[in-house]
Amino acid sequence: MSPVLSARGVTRSYDHPEGAVEVLRGVDLDVAAGEVVTVSGRSGSGKSALFALLCGFDRPDAGTVAVGGAPLPAVPAWGDCAVLPQAMGLAHELTLAENVALPLRLARRTGVDDRVAELLAELGIGELADRYPPEVSYGQQQRAALARAVAIRPRVLLADEPTAHLDHGSVPAVLGLLRRAASEGTAVLIATHHDLVHAIADRRLAIVDGRLTTTG
Ligand SMILES: Nc1ncnc2c1ncn2[C@@H]1O[C@H](COP(=O)(O)OP(=O)(O)OP(=O)(O)O)[C@@H](O)[C@H]1O
């Protein structure tokens, strides 16, 4: 099967006062529709930097990234590449329900209210639908940001540490949602340090010395 998300030779350096640091040194990656791939790596190894390149937010110094064979614009359509960033990025002037609905409304989808209610309930935050992000916990914000990312059934989902703020009781619903997104055709890439997340992966990768290697 041809990959939905692919990267070849992706290289990225950052300038610091002490000199340029090459964080990614030729990353190659393919993720197919329906596949869950996890990426581990020590703190600072470049997981978030890689995700910013894969969704088009950042540009590599060298190499290529493509979704469905084409490069992404700097602001990709949610339906092409949806992101759960580490910082969550919810709009604070919108309620949780409005945040989750936003990609669907931008894409003029139908059945928005039902889809939003279903996702929030599945993640155990249905009763918080009308609250604003600062009025809920980080773990609740993280689940809302995940619901926003999967709502549109994107071609690619990039989830950066999706369980970072969660208590143990909330993890199974999040893992179930990620796995279901894949079963509905999304190519799912997850950065994580969490063994329970690696356990749902079809393939496990790690960033070592700026490159991706297979770990299991
Ligand atoms: N915009 C930037 N400007 C300068 N340096 C950056 C920038 N983005 C990332 N870096 C550097 O690149 C390296 C990788 O950072 P990144 O956030 O990708 O790590 P990570 O693997 O996601 O870490 P963690 O597990 O702690 O989240 C770090 O040394 C960081 O300082």
Nearest atom in ligand 1 to the alpha carbon of residue 51 is 18
On whether residue 206 sits in a domain, the answer given is: yes
On whether residue 151 sits in a domain, the answer given is: yes
pLDDT in tens, 1-59: 679 999 999 999 999 888 899 999 999 999 999 999 999 999 999 999 999 999 999 99
On whether residue 97 sits in a domain, the answer given is: yes
**CATH number for the domain including 173?**
3.40.50.300
What is the predicted pLDDT for the residue at 95? 98
Task: Please state whether 97 falls in left (phi above 0), alpha (psi between -120 and 50) or beta.
Answer: alpha
Structure pTM? 0.95
On whether residue 117 sits in a domain, the answer given is: yes
- Residue 208 Cβ inside 6 Å of ligand 1? The answer reads no
In this structure, are residues 79 and 67 in contact, taking their beta carbons and an 8 Å threshold?
no
On whether residue 175 sits in a domain, the answer given is: yes
- Residue 12 Cβ inside 6 Å of ligand 1? The answer reads no
On whether residue 86 sits in a domain, the answer given is: yes
Section 129-156 average pLDDT: 97
On whether residue 129 sits in a domain, the answer given is: yes
- Residue 63 Cβ inside 6 Å of ligand 1? The answer reads no
Mean pLDDT, the chain, whole residue set: 95
On whether residue 57 sits in a domain, the answer given is: no
